[in-house]
Structure 1
């Protein structure tokens, strides 16, 4: 079932996304002990992998649904992705954003054509406001990570990575809401050659790690992490996929994330955001396990507030 859906999804979204480059670094190979292939979704349209899932989700709507628009609640990359994907496809996008969301993110959403509706900064208020927009406008709600079309869209980054390097033994991704790692796991299972998927997660927001241990979706009481894109929790659709197909989640400290981010900035000369650095930080954290292994890393995005760098 998933194989054909993934293939169709990749074909359908190709005109609207970039096939992002895969970069390597001799120095980072030496530091990690592995042969590392970085899939650079920081070079994706709007600067993150979420463009893939947003595009696929809109393409799978009926013409009636498209005519009424789409709505999501997000203060981050999915807000920008849905706005740009909707504009590319001639669809209205209503973006519910917390009032305290950074000005730079609000401006990006507006530039991409999203219609912002502000709400108080709680999940309850975000969901309530999105529901009001649904009722008033007839718009279709698209969840940033717990939607199968979104998940399949995110998996296309791994399809491209495995087309370039079919013999990868491991692929690392960051874990936030679970859409990227679920899509990656499906794609690796269907297109890889016994390729295992590993998640990287901040210790300060380790709900996915705890969810795998307990067998139910856990939440975080606090999320004091620099990886602001990974503060969300898993959902009912992506959690069973993650349980079935991923190998493990490695938790990393804040200093590990900053060090990995700095290495990539300095040595590869590319901009990645803190959430993106978590996957490489996870490899470095347990590098003895992956010594000599051919390893892919999804660099999830590069949307950084340059006035607020951790180094």
Structure 2
């Protein structure tokens, strides 16, 4: 298993997991290059809620999804609120949030579907994108793992929703943990440390580092992996990009490294049509 980053169209970079069978689903984790947005959103901003010009975002979405071989007019995206709520998407939701943020699926931080040719899209700038693929039951999903969603176990709850709605089995599900702010850069306060210690007892060594006295850094990648393994997802089925968006903010958007005003990368996944 490995995470790969490369150009999928002139100037447009995208990451993917080799562990996800390409014959079942299309997926990608966008970079920030190759779009039309002006600073501070330059240039492939895929979010309609951060103050960018909507027409630029729509053009960026069309460019990126076309590079993936997908139809941007059919994408479904939610209003992300750092919660733990998931929504099952059907063909009736095709296009929700594609052209207007107000039309997004309200107050939702994870989407799942078993519909073919229906792109799911969530936006990120340091928070952790978590992609799910069940190649047996043919179902996909994406979760938004900021610290609040992660400590509430949104990744594990998304898997449980796939089990409930699609009959997915833990041993079949593949997971990709995408680029996000890494433990190298993610300094947190005592309130966050206390919340994670309570939610993940016995995992301090995996979750926390102290690069210097009084400075605690959190590993969101590990916290999401731990909850998935505790649920029963095999370790070998969890692929982590281990790419820090703050360290690499010339390639990815980073809320922290960019000073709080920036664009958003996207995680996208869609089931392919069966031939």
Judging by fraction of residues, say which structure has more helix.
1
TM-score by length of 2: 0.31
Larger relative contact order (Cα-Cα within 8 Å, sequence gap ≥ 6): 2
So what's the TM-score if we normalise by structure 1?
A: 0.29
Larger Rg computed on CA atoms: 1
